[in-house]
Amino acid sequence: MSEFEKKKLESDFRNFTNRNFERPGDCRNLDQIRYYVRELCSKIEEYENRFNYVPGWAYSLLAQYNTVHNNLLYKDFKKAYA
């Protein structure tokens, strides 16, 4: 795969996430986070299968959503058992 093709895929992926996702820090709801994680995972899988390439920042974005998800779970846990 050429550098041009990689840049095009990265640009398309970035446009998709900018258009359809909120920033991880702006999410305040577990269901919302779970939806974004599920959608992002399916998009990553699609790129892996179709192009055998996924931009590295896509995994970073997924890690950010997972961090926010874990923080929200921890807050809920503290409220339930405090």
What is the token pair recorded at 1?
């795969």
Average pLDDT of adjacent 10-residue blocks, the chain of 82 residues: 92 95 91 96 96 95 96 92 80
Look at residue 28 in the predicted model and tell me its pLDDT: 87
Look at residue 62 in the predicted model and tell me its pLDDT: 97
What is the token pair recorded at 13?
């992926």
Tell if the pTM clears 0.85, that is, is over it. yes
How far is residue 6's CA from residue 8's CA, in Å, rounded to a whole number?
A: 5
In three-state form (DSSP H/G/I as H, E/B as E, the rest C), the secondary structure along the chain is CCHHHHHHHHHHHHHHHHHHCCCHHHCCCHHHHHHHHHHHHHHHHHHHHHHCCCCHHHHHHHHHHHHHHHHHHHHHHHHHHC
